[in-house]
Chains A and B, each alone.
Chain A
Amino acid sequence: MDIEKKHFTCVICPIGCEIDVELQDSNVVSIEGSKCAKGKEFVSQELKEPMRILTTTIRMKGAKWAMLPVRTDKPIPKRLLFMVMKELQNIELKAPVQMSDVIIRDIAGTGANILATRNMKKEREGKSV
């Protein structure tokens, strides 16, 4: 069976290790170029199912700003990013919200929660936006 070579740039930290992988029969034979253990984990995961943290915004009523920044509390499969974006599209929240509040549990069956990433106070009534 031929050896298949693959190249990855680790995105776990700003160093961005360039990692070379050799595969035989879909099994990893060697992983080289990673400065830490996380790089190896990253590559193994990339081979199985690439996972990413999603950061985006949700529409917000009653606050100073129109959008609340949010994130998934853990990486979700890359192929589901657009599906999650779609689910979040039609949601509208009401202020106030605290940072780390769970906005949605188990988004789109990924097992990840959507968390607020900042505090958003309620804007005093009558104040124009």
Chain B
Amino acid sequence: MRMEADVTVIGSGPAGLVAALHAYESGAKHVLLLEREEELGGILKQCIHNGFGLEQFKIDYTGPEYAERLIEEMERTDVRYLLNTMVIALSPDRIITAVNPDSGVFKVKSRSVVLAMGCRERPRGGINIPGTRPAGVYTAGVAQRFVNIDGYLPGKEVVVLGSGDIGLIMARRLTLEGAQVKGVYEIMNYPGGLKRNIVQCLNDFSIPLYLSHTVTEIRGNERVEGVVVSRVDEKMQPIAGSEQFIACDTLLLSVGLIPENELSKGAGIKLSPTTNGPITTETMETAVPGIFSCGNVSTVFDLVDYVAETGMTAGRNAARFAKASKKEGKSIEVIAGENVRMLFPQRYSFEDDLILFIRCAKPIERPLRIDISPLDMHFKRLYARPNEMIRVKVLKDRLKDITEPIEVNITER
């Protein structure tokens, strides 16, 4: 079997749904959405908590409600979607190889492609915790799936390592379900998740947060019997003598998310070492013409609203490319300067406004300035924290005469 499409979107989480919808609304006739799971919506289906879409819709949706709203909007269009369909390869000339139970292996020739595969959780092996290998060590998202979809409580006495948002959300969720969460341990000296989640997920339930701490050993034979936690120094090395044993039957890991880019690599797309996602321009186009990338496969965003915003841009531009394969335009680099750990997008191609997503390198708890050079342009903020992405918008008009790279610096005022 061989199919053809104007725009093919890989992944139907928030980025993919919005991209497909906007590709269609921008005039692409044959939009195809490929999803490897048995229903649309991606990770939103298990994120049953509220707080989704506050910026985008001004409504406080839960994850499933937010997904349902996008799915309903999409169902009113002629976007075609295939479920249980796993994309196994993508070529630079935009031929997709996929497999599903109905058609077996098949190919799709697409005028443009949107990558929206999202990200994966960093597992235990990704942080090398010494100790035994008992049952009871889960990533936070896996535990979320067990509790919210399958109806199983992963344990009764829980330690959470890492203070990413999913870990915080799960600390609350497990507490509500009757488990005892003994503490959240974070190796950095600042939390990984949003401040509001520290407040409403930990403080509300008196769950302690220990900064500059990590798990240095897992104990237990069949099942986790406890973990050893240690304080760490400024270089994040465990401090000898600070070890403390904590009895528990479950260890949840919330230690980072990694964009899922096997397909991107196969297509020869250049990845950024800081975002671990494709290097893209403000139109979300990757270094391979006609292949666009959006959402958490590009860089891990804090909010679904930002994910959707990049999906919108990718969908719109993928439709534009499908209509008239764009001429090779010029583009310049966007460089992360002083105090900037992560910057997205990494290039500017003079097509659209430049919406920058920035993570600072360290917490700055005093007024600061985000400088966009060579423009004489500054954004002021009262503080900046690595766990809270900064979004700023530079209008296309301001950028049209620039020839040298754009550099973003954060300086204290």
A contacts, CB < 8 Å to B: 9-11, 13-14, 16, 50, 52-57, 59, 64-67, 69, 71, 78, 81-82, 85, 99, 117-119
Q: Given A9-B199, A14-B196, A118-B68, are A57 and B48 neighbors across the interface (CB < 8 Å)?
A: yes
Question: Which chain B residue has the least Cβ–Cβ distance from A15?
Answer: B196
Q: Contact check: which of A11, A65, A82, A118 meets B200 at CB < 8 Å?
A: A11
Q: Contact check: which of A9, A11, A14, A78 meets B302 at CB < 8 Å?
A: A14
A-facing residues in B164-196 (Cβ within 8 Å): 176-178, 194-196
- Check A99–B65 contact: CB distance below 8 A: yes
Instruction: Determine the chain B residues whose CB is within 8 A of the CB of A14 once the complex forms.
Output: 51, 54-55, 194, 196, 302-303
Cross-chain pairs A/B with CB under 8 angstroms, 22 sampled = A9-B195, A11-B200, A13-B196, A14-B55, A14-B194, A14-B302, A16-B194, A16-B196, A53-B50, A54-B176, A55-B48, A57-B148, A67-B149, A67-B150, A69-B48, A69-B62, A69-B64, A78-B204, A81-B176, A85-B176, A117-B64, A117-B65
Say how far A73's CB is from chain B's closest CB, in angstroms. 11
Q: Roughly how many angstroms separate A107 CA and B176 CA in the complex, as a whole number?
A: 16
Say how far A9's CB is from chain B's closest CB, in angstroms. 5
Q: Given A9-B196, A55-B62, are A118 and B148 neighbors across the interface (CB < 8 Å)?
A: no
Q: Is B217 an interface residue (CB 8 A)?
A: no
- Check B148–A71 contact: CB distance below 8 A: no
Q: Roughly how many angstroms separate A11 CA and B201 CA in the complex, as a whole number?
A: 10
Q: Given A59-B151, A117-B62, A117-B65, are A13 and B48 neighbors across the interface (CB < 8 Å)?
A: no
A-B residue pairs, 3 tightest by C-beta = A118-B64, A66-B151, A69-B48
Q: Roughly how many angstroms separate A118 CA and B150 CA in the complex, as a whole number?
A: 15
Say how far B186's CB is from chain A's closest CB, in angstroms. 17
Say how far B332's CB is from chain A's closest CB, in angstroms. 31
Instruction: Determine the chain A residues whose CB is within 8 A of the CB of B148 once the complex forms.
Output: 57, 67, 69
Q: Contact check: which of A9, A55, A57, A85 meets B50 at CB < 8 Å?
A: A55
A-facing residues in B49-64 (Cβ within 8 Å): 49-51, 54-55, 60, 62-64
Instruction: Determine the chain A residues whose CB is within 8 A of the CB of B207 once the complex forms.
Output: none
Q: Roughly how many angstroms separate A52 CA and B50 CA in the complex, as a whole number?
A: 10
Question: Which chain A residue has the least Cβ–Cβ distance from B201?
Answer: A11
Say how far B383's CB is from chain A's closest CB, in angstroms. 9
- Check B151–A11 contact: CB distance below 8 A: no
- Check B204–A67 contact: CB distance below 8 A: no
- Find the residue from B50, B60, B150 having the highest chain A CB count within 10 A: B50
Instruction: Determine the chain B residues whose CB is within 8 A of the CB of A53 once the complex forms.
Output: 50, 60
Q: Roughly how many angstroms separate A75 CA and B80 CA in the complex, as a whole number?
A: 38
Q: Given A16-B194, A67-B150, A71-B62, are A52 and B200 neighbors across the interface (CB < 8 Å)?
A: yes
Q: Is B147 an interface residue (CB 8 A)?
A: yes
Say how far A95's CB is from chain B's closest CB, in angstroms. 14
Instruction: Determine the chain A residues whose CB is within 8 A of the CB of B111 once the complex forms.
Output: none
- Check A99–B149 contact: CB distance below 8 A: no
- Check B64–A13 contact: CB distance below 8 A: no
Instruction: Determine the chain B residues whose CB is within 8 A of the CB of A67 once the complex forms.
Output: 147-151
Q: Is B45 an interface residue (CB 8 A)?
A: yes
- Check B62–A56 contact: CB distance below 8 A: no
Q: Roughly how many angstroms separate A59 CA and B147 CA in the complex, as a whole number?
A: 11
Question: Which chain B residue has the least Cβ–Cβ distance from A116?
Answer: B64
- Check A85–B177 contact: CB distance below 8 A: yes
Q: Roughly how many angstroms separate A22 CA and B357 CA in the complex, as a whole number?
A: 36
Interface string of B29-57 (1 = CB under 8 A from A): 00000000010000001001111001100
Instruction: Determine the chain B residues whose CB is within 8 A of the CB of A69 once the complex forms.
Output: 48, 62-64, 148
